[in-house]
Every structure is written in C-alpha cells, then in structure tokens.
Amino acid sequence: MAICVEFPNFKPMNQQELYMQRCLDLAVLGAGTTSPNPMVGSVIVHGDTIIGEGYTSPYGGPHAEVNAIQQVIARFGEAEAERLFPESTIYVSLEPCAHFGKTPPCADLIVSKGFRKAVIACLDPFAKVNGLGLKKLQDAGIATEVGVLEEEAKWLNRRFFTKLKEFRPYVILKWAETTDGFFAPSDAQQRWISNGASKQLVHKWRAEEDAILVGAATAAIDAPSLTVREWEGKNPIRVVIDKDLTLDLDTPLFDASAETIIFNAIRTDWQGHLKFIALENFEMYLPQQILYQLYLMDVQSLIIEGGKKTLDLFIKAGLWDEARIFVGDMEWGDGVPSPRITGKLLQQTAVGSDKLRILSRV
C-alpha cells in the first residue's frame, strides 16, 4: 500500500508495457532495503517469453540487471545463456548505471552480453548516470527505447528523485484523527484513535522508509519507540526535535534498538547510537535545517508522526510530499484539532474500521 503505482488515467497495456509493469512490480520488492540507491526491476525477454528477472539487492549488493542476467545463467547454463542474450531484449525500470560505485556499471555488463535491445522506463537524474548509461548502450550498437511507463517509474522512485533534485529527503506526514476532526485529547493524555490493522500498516511503512521524526512533546507524552515490531523489516533512524534537551535519556526513544538523532540548540555530540546535533538559530527555518542535515546524512525518506506542532511546522513551510491520514470510527466532541492540509487525493481506502486517505502536495 505504501508503494502505489496506480494511476487514475489507466489505459490497457501493450506487451512492452506489460513487461515494464513486471519490472515495476519486481522493484517494489526492494522497498526499505536499497536506499540510498533507487528501487529497480529488470526482466529479460526472449521471443515472447521472460527468461530472467531480478530486482535491486539490499544496498551494496547486485543491481536488478545483474540479478536478471544471473538468473538466466542459472536457468540455462552459461553457454546457452550467452547464446540467448544477443537474441533478447532487456527491460529495466531505470537507466542502467554507468559508473563504478559499490558495484561495477550495469551498462557495461549489458553491452558485454550483446543484448539486441534495451527498453528503459526513465533516465536516472544522478549526475554520474544521467544519459551516460543510455549512451554506452547506443554506442555499442544496442537498440534502445526510453519512456515506457515513464511516469509510473518516476513515481515509484519518488524518494530517490526528490533527494537528487531538491537536496532533501522525501517527506511523508502521518497522523490519525477522529471523524469529527480531532488529533489528540486536550488534556495531553495518550489515547488511541486508529485500529490494530492500521497500526500494523504503520509498522510496515516504517520498515520502508529511512527515518521517522517526532517532536519532544510527543516523545514525552506517548513514550514511543518508533521501531518496527508488527512487521518484518529494519528499524528506521529515529529523529526527535528537542530544543532544550528536556527528554529523559531513559525514554524508549533513546534505547539501543535504532540510531537516534536529536536536533537541539545546545550541543553536538556522538554517543554510540545517539547523535546530538545542535542547530544554529534554532527557531529560524527549522524544517529546512533539519531536512538539509538529514540529506547530508544520506537520508532519502522521512516519516513525520507528530505531534501537531511539528506537523504544522512542515505543512506551513510547504516541506512535505505525501500525507497519510487515518480517520477512526469515533467522535470526541472536543480535543486538539487535527492539522489542516490541502493536496491531491491519491488514494482512499478502508483499513478495517478506519478510513485511510493519502494526499500528495503536488
């Protein structure tokens, strides 16, 4: 649900688009493991049959194209695979890399296998790749086609594209509200609004993103751990805004289960998994400062879970990309009003007794 590649203007797909859709479906399997690299899927087609497929391994491992090629070799043996490659088309949801990073360039591997054609959904905006991977294929005489399901592919890797183009993480706002629009009790006590199924979905989302942020008041009142417990996956980096360092270090937010960043106005200090980062002129452009610091730390995506003051801070600054809002099946009559936000409705669905609305800023 977190990775949505559905579009309202859906049209029937031709065969090329079906193969590329398979690339996108494969790419999603890498959610939460590939950052700061993008999620990429690849399929290899011989005639009208998929003979190999793959998606990007966890960060530092082989890319999608490598895994697809290796699957062909594993299935058919090296000699037969080398015969099949020049008769085959490779589909990939993002331009093959052209530089040495954690792994060798995928464009070079595709050239070495002599593929007949390469079909690419969209170009990679990363400076060391942008157009260079495509050029390597074309210079080698491989027929190329770019733009098959391009918008869907860009949406899938919206985190990666945002980080490269806007020099900040992709920001997801998340909260729950009552049917009459209240966010929290007025007496500052903890009170659940959403149901168990929604809670499990939130843990799935946490496993898919790089970091998660709350304000000091939320950390003090709710004592959240902000870890992944009801889903399988890695814990996100925990981020808290605590200007005057008022939070008790015994709070669950500071335990050793995940790296934790504390943005404050007093000190910069590294203590094992705790990273205290002092921001100059703390009250000035606070959302911008936080997002830029996280960008410098290679954080590609961020969930902001509250509280209301923190959410409003990013909403007012226009520094959000997606809002995921649960509406519970209860009325309170009074309380803290939920954040007010406008955007494009991407999705509306039921999660048990809750309603989930997902908005985009643009």
Known binding residues for Zn(2+) are 63, 97, 106
What is the mean predicted confidence (pLDDT) over 241-251?
95
Asked if residue 174 has pLDDT above 50, the reply is: yes
What is the mean predicted confidence (pLDDT) over 48-71?
96
Asked if residue 8 has pLDDT above 60, the reply is: no
Supply the CATH classification number for the domain 167-361: 3.40.430.10
Q: Which two tokens stand for residue 7?
A: 């579009």
**pTM of the predicted model, to two decimals?**
0.90
Known binding residues for substrate are 206, 226, 229, 305
Q: Which two tokens stand for residue 148?
A: 């098959």
263 phi/psi in degrees, rounded to 5: -80, 125
Label residue 102 by pLDDT band (50, 70, 90). Answer: low
22: CB partners within 8 A, 6+ apart: 41, 43, 50, 53, 91
109 phi/psi in degrees, rounded to 5: -65, -45
Helices (H), the chain: 15-28, 64-76, 78-84, 106-113, 132-139, 150-156, 158-166, 196-208, 216-222, 286-296, 308-316
Residue type, 353: S
Q: Which residue from 190, 167, 160, 189 is spatially nearest to 291, judged by alpha carbons?
A: 167
- Distance (Å, rounded) from C-alpha 32 to C-alpha 199? 18
Known binding residues for NADP(+) are 176, 192, 218, 222
Domain-wise residue ranges, the chain:
15-27+39-157, 167-361
* Fold category of 15-27+39-157 in CATH: Cytidine Deaminase; domain 2 (3.40.140)
DSSP per position, 12-52: ---HHHHHHHHHHHHHHTTTTTSTTSPP-EEEEEETTEEEE
Peptide bond connecting 36 to the previous residue in cis, omega within 30 degrees of 0: yes
For the ranges 6-10, 70-74, 83-87, 208-212, the lowest mean pLDDT is seen at 6-10
What is the mean predicted confidence (pLDDT) over 230-242?
95
Active site residue ranges: 65
